[in-house]
Structure 1
Amino acid sequence: MYNQLNAPEESANPEGIFWFGNRFEKDIIMPFLQDLIADSNTYVCNSLWVDFTINTERGELRIKGETDPVVVDAEAQPLLPLEIKTKRSIDGLTKPNRHHKAQIHAYMRGLTKKHDYEVTDAIVLYGSRTNLDVTSFHVEFDPIFWEEVVLEWAESHTSYRLSDDLPPADPEYAWECNVCSYRHRCGQSSEPYADISPYGLLPEYTGYPQEKVRKYLEAHDGAVLTPTLAQQYPELASQHPVAKWQCVSCDAQFLWDEPDWDGDQSAPPLCPKCANNGTPAPLRSPQPDEQYQPQEADQDE
C-alpha cells in the first residue's frame, strides 16, 4: 500500500542487486537456454506480457505483469515459462520460495488465458550472487495452491487497498522487513513510528536518501521538506518549501534555519522564545499530516 500510494522511500534502491539480476538473466541464463533448448521447433523469448482478470468473492481482480524467459514453440506459443531469481546463497535451498511459486502460478494462469490452452509447467531458477551456483525447481500448476494461496493473497491485499487500511506487518519471511523501503514508517525499526499514513515525511527521520526526497517532493503538489531534512540537505531547502519548527510548549513557529542547532538528532533545537523566558522547550518537526501546504485555487482573471 505504501508503494502504491507513493509514500517516500526510506532507503536507496539496491542497484547492485538489480544490475546483477539483469545481467545474470541476459548474459548467463538466456544463452544457456538457447544452447540447450533452441532448435527448429522451439526457441526462447525474453518475456511475455500477461494481463487478465479473475472473479473472486471480493469482486473482479486484474493481474498483469511481464514474465522472465519463456520457452515457446515455432508458432510462438508458450511451452515453459521460467522465473529467474538471485540470492546471496542457494545453499540448503530445497524448494522455491512460496511467493516465487505464487508469481509463476500467476504467469501460468495468465498465459493459459491469453493463449486459450493450458500452460501447466514452469521452472523457478535460482542463481547465487556469491559464486554463480544455480539450482532450479519444476513447478506444476496446482489448482488448490492457486485458490487457497495466490487468490487469497490477491483478495486480501485488494480488500486492504480498497478500504485504505494498512495490512498487518506480518511478512512471509522475517528478513523481508529488514529490506523494506517503508519499515520505519510501518513500525518495524527502532524509530518511534508505527502505521503512519503514506503521506508526508517522518518528522525526525534523517535516513532518507537525497534523491528519494527530491523525487517525493517533485511528485507531490504541496509537499514540504521537514526542518531536519532541510538541515541535512540544504540544497533541497533552496529549491523546495520547508515546514517550520514548532515549539512543543508555546506553539511558536520558526524557519528551519532560524534556531541555532548543530543537527544532532538526540538534542533537538530549543525554542528561542521559551529560552528567553527561562523555560527551555524543544522544537519539533511537523507530523506528516501537518506538512502539506494548501494549494491556491486558480482564479479567473
Structure 2
Amino acid sequence: MARRDPSGTGRGRCRKIMRRNRVSAKGVGRLPAYSEESGISSAGDLLRGFERGGFSSPSAHVAGDLRRVGWRSPLGVVEPAWRGGSPQSTNGSERESQEEEMKRYIAGVVAVVFVSFLALGSVAYSQGAGKMTYGPYVGIAKLTGDGSEYWKMGFTVGGTAFYPVTSKILVGGRLGYTRFTPDEDKLKEQAGVLPGMSVDISGSFSSIEIVPTARYMVAPSGSKLGVFGQVGFGYYLMKVKTEVTGSYMGYSYTESAEESENKPGLSLGAGVHFAVGQMGVEVFPVYNIIFTEDESTKYYSINVSVMF
C-alpha cells in the first residue's frame, strides 16, 4: 500500500526543487564491508542504498527523497542535492529572470496601492473625515489543505493602520509575520523510522505579509460595538527551512535545505470592534490565500488587536 504523501498545503504548489542542500557523513572510515545483502561499498552507496532497497541511512531513509518520505513544505518538495539533477538550462535561466521581473512588478504595484491608500486616507483626514487608527495585534495561525496536519499551530504578530474615508469605509493596511513548525512525531510516523535509528526533524515555514486593505464597518450610532469585513491584496515574503539529522549503526548524517519565495496573495477577514474609552479592542479572523504555483498556499489566523 503506497504511503500517503503529506503535501504541504496543496498538492502541487510551487514545485520548484531546492537543490542547495548540504549532506554530511561522519565515520566514513568505519563503513561496514560490502555485502550482497546491503549493497554497501562506499559512503555514496550508503546514502543511496535505500533506492536499491538494501540499506537506509537515517538521512536517506527519512530525508533522502523527501517526496517519498512525506516532507513537503508549503513552498513545495525539498529534494537533497546528492540525488543529482540536471544542470539549469538556458531556458530555465530565462524563466527565472522573467519570474524575478514579474515579482518586482507585483511588488511595485502593491507599493503603489499601499501608498495610494495612505494618500487617500490623508486627504480624508485633512478634510475632517476622521482620525487614523492604528495598533498591534497577536494571534494564532493554522495552515489548511492537504498535509496541514503535519504542521503545528503557529503564531502571528503584526500591526494595522486605517484611515476613515467615510463613516463606514476605511482604507489602510496590515504588516504581519506568521510562523509554523513541523509536527516531528507525525512526520516520523509517516516516514517509518527503522528500529535503533535516532532521527530529529526540524524546520519552519514563515511568511511576512504586506497587505493594503480596505475595511467596511457598521457601528450603530451611540453604540460601543461595531462589526466589519475587510479585503486586502498584497505581497507575501515566504521562507522554508528543513533539516533532518540522525544516527544509525554508529554513523551520523544531516540533510538540510532552505528556500525563499515571494508571491502575491489575497487576505479576507471579518471581526468586531469594541470601544474602550479612547481605545478600541478588535477580534478578527483573517484567511490568507497566497498564489503559489499550481495551487495556492492557504492559512488562517485568529487575531486580537488594540487600536489607538
Common topology (TM > 0.5): no
Structure with the bigger percentage of strand: 2
The structure in which a higher percent of residues are helix is 1
Band the TM-score falls in, shorter-chain normalisation: under 0.3
Give the number of the structure with larger relative contact order, counting CA–CA contacts within 8 Å between residues 6 or more apart.
2
TM-score (norm. length: structure 1): 0.23
TM-score (norm 2): 0.22
